Amino acid sequence: MRTLARWLVGLLAMIGVLAAAAVVAVVYLIKHAEPEKVAVRNGDYLVVDFDRGVSGQPPRDAIEALGRGDEYVFSDLVAALRRAAADPKISGLAAHLGGTPIPAATALELADAVSDFKKVGKKTFLFSESLDGGPGAVALAAAFQETWVQPSGLVGLRGLAIESPFLRQGLAEWGIRADVLQRYEYKSAFDSFTRDEMSPPVRENLQHLIDDVAASLNAAIARERGLDISAVAALAQRGPLLAPDALQAKLVDRLGYGAEFQAELKAAFPGAPVQADAYAATREAPDTDIKIALIQASGQIVPGETEFGPLGGEAMIGAQTVAHAIRDAARTKGVRAIILRLDTPGGDYAASDTIRQAILAARHDNVPVVVSMGNVAASGGYFIASAAETVIAGEATITGSIGVIAGKVVLDEAWNKLGVRWATLKTGETATMFSPNHPFTPLERARMEAIVDAAYADFTQKVGEARKLDAEAVDRVARGRVWSGKAAKAVGLVDDTGGLLKALAYAKRSAGIPAERIPTLVDFPRARSLTETLSDLMNGEHGEIAKITAAPLPEPLATLSAWSKLNLEKGAALMPPMVMR
């Protein structure tokens, strides 16, 4: 009896602890359901810590925001920098950047926003203990008037590199192989499973890509630092540089420590620091009768709805979620145009076509759609983008990859190693076509060839019609080739280079909105209220425990993991797993 009593007491105590924790969580969510706002006074200065990280997609609710920690939302950060540069109360900008790698396209767009402060005569300062996050980080730091580095630090100006894993031999040891069809020689998404090294066409194409991206970064550094681009390229060949060498090369302006930097800020700015996310939450008063929808989509493109794990995990673009957001925006009263911000290596072909069709439907209803590409908008991502009225890419955006791939993993040799035998009954010759227990038969391969050819023909035909290119011109830019944003503009795949603000200018122009009017940017899909969020959580609709506790995987594991959610047998338009350093 005493044991039962102790057990009941323990159970009640546990329930009490859980109830208390739930109350604390609800109070925290209520407190953080709306971003903190701040009153800006004359002489205040904006503060950004780039080491907090930047997310390309806003959180859907307070729980998802909690899972992301203190990451900035990219669109909010760019808008805050642009607005602060023009705000007479804001006297300047102070930032911190350590060893956090900054993707090239993100770095150039942020650097462009920082440059707006200098254009209006406002001071900009950046401090880094060690600026060793790579060329993107150096390009961003170069945009500041005074860049400080600790005397013991490094400046990570160096060349770019692409690394791709090749798993064929390792998988063969386990009896695992891939049976793949691809269109065409540059479409290398499955080469990791079928080859031991890069093919010559892919190697040549990717070398051109990183040469273009490196040239854009070097040009930005040279422009901001008043250096010759050849001098910057030469410095990159011997980097990373010691802080004194970087100072002598004019890549940084001061060597010093954090306390000295803070003293300099106090002397330079009469006001108080204002955090960028708090400033972003204190929005300017726009024209409420003029709206432009902003839809931000990041990750692999998959069928169905976007899964929003509350504490992070792999980013996915659910085709139905994005297509519904486009339709909803087009039907919303007062919405004059749609900006679709894409950051995706591609994914399921049919899912990409679903989003593409939603764009065409919005345009049919006389709602202009402008696509702004982030770090990457390739393959299925480019397929989507090509349907827009205007396509904007960053100079260092990775895009193109017009091609299709399909296949399956084959486990027959693995089963043999394990002593497993399968018995099969079927009513048709292609009934087991997608079974992993055998490679494609000649008949099955013929059917797959027809499926892949049809998908590729559909892809290239639609791109040609959208971009007004004939078949020969499409073939010259397609076959799986990957392009930088700058090169993509030169071959007619995008209309202009730039970022979100350039896309906004095009959207205003297409919608007939005067340049001096400030439209209200409305996020779609609509963020869920705290009540809806808590209701979903109580009903178990926020994902399984495995999803709740998942952290984003590093590349190339993130790409390989995401592939498990695609219908690869039916055709996919995606990029290979690779890391650009």
**Average pLDDT taken over every residue of the chain:** 86
**How far apart (Å, rounded) are the C-alpha atoms in residues 375 and 555?**
15
pTM for the model: 0.86
Tell me: pLDDT of 578 over 90.
no
Tell me: pLDDT of 178 over 70.
yes
CATH code of residue 475 = 3.90.226.10
Worst-scoring range by mean pLDDT, 59-73, 378-392, 549-563? 549-563
How many helices, marked H, and strands, marked E, lie in the chain? Answer: 23, 26
Q: Per the residue annotation, which of 55, 91, 164, 187 is the catalytic one?
A: 187
**How far apart (Å, rounded) are the C-alpha atoms in residues 201 and 187?**
10
**How far apart (Å, rounded) are the C-alpha atoms in residues 511 and 285?**
20
Number of domains in the chain: 2
**How far apart (Å, rounded) are the C-alpha atoms in residues 376 and 428?**
42
Across the range 117-127, mean pLDDT stands at 94
Q: Are residues 414 and 513 in the same domain?
A: yes
Domain assignment present for 203? no
Radius of gyration of the chain (CA): 26
Q: Are residues 513 and 399 in the same domain?
A: yes
Phi-psi domain of 175 (left: phi exceeds 0; alpha: psi -120 through 50; beta: other) = left
Beta bridge partners of 301: 317, 347
Domain assignment present for 454? yes
Domain assignment present for 194? no
- CB-side exposure of 35: number of CA atoms within 13 Å? 22
Q: Are residues 405 and 474 in the same domain?
A: yes
Domain assignment present for 381? yes
The DSSP annotation for 266-319 comes to HHH-SS-EEEHHHHHHS----EEEEEEEEEEEESEEESSPPP--TT----EEEH
Across the range 360-387, mean pLDDT stands at 97
Q: Are residues 255 and 115 in the same domain?
A: yes
Tell me: pLDDT of 158 over 90.
yes
Q: Are residues 252 and 308 in the same domain?
A: no
Q: Are residues 462 and 560 in the same domain?
A: yes
**pLDDT of 528:** 62
Q: Are residues 307 and 255 in the same domain?
A: no
User: In sequence order, which residues have a C-beta less than 8 Å from that of residue 22 and are 6 or more positions away?
Assistant: none
**How far apart (Å, rounded) are the C-alpha atoms in residues 393 and 533?**
34
Q: Are residues 470 and 556 in the same domain?
A: yes
Tokens of 420: 């497993």
Q: Are residues 261 and 297 in the same domain?
A: no
Q: Are residues 263 and 310 in the same domain?
A: no
Domain assignment present for 351? yes
Residue pair 243/155 in contact by the 8 Å Cβ criterion:
yes
The DSSP annotation for 433-459 comes to TT-TTSPPPHHHHHHHHHHHHHHHHHH
Helix %, strand %, coil % for the chain, to 5?
45, 20, 35
Q: Which domain holds residue 60?
A: 44-158+239-281
| Known active-site residue 187 | yes
**How far apart (Å, rounded) are the C-alpha atoms in residues 502 and 430?**
50
pLDDT-derived band of residue 30, with 50, 70 and 90 as boundaries?
A: very low
Q: Are residues 246 and 142 in the same domain?
A: yes
Which one is predicted more confidently, 433 or 14? 433
Q: Per the residue annotation, which of 75, 164, 379, 401 is the catalytic one?
A: 379
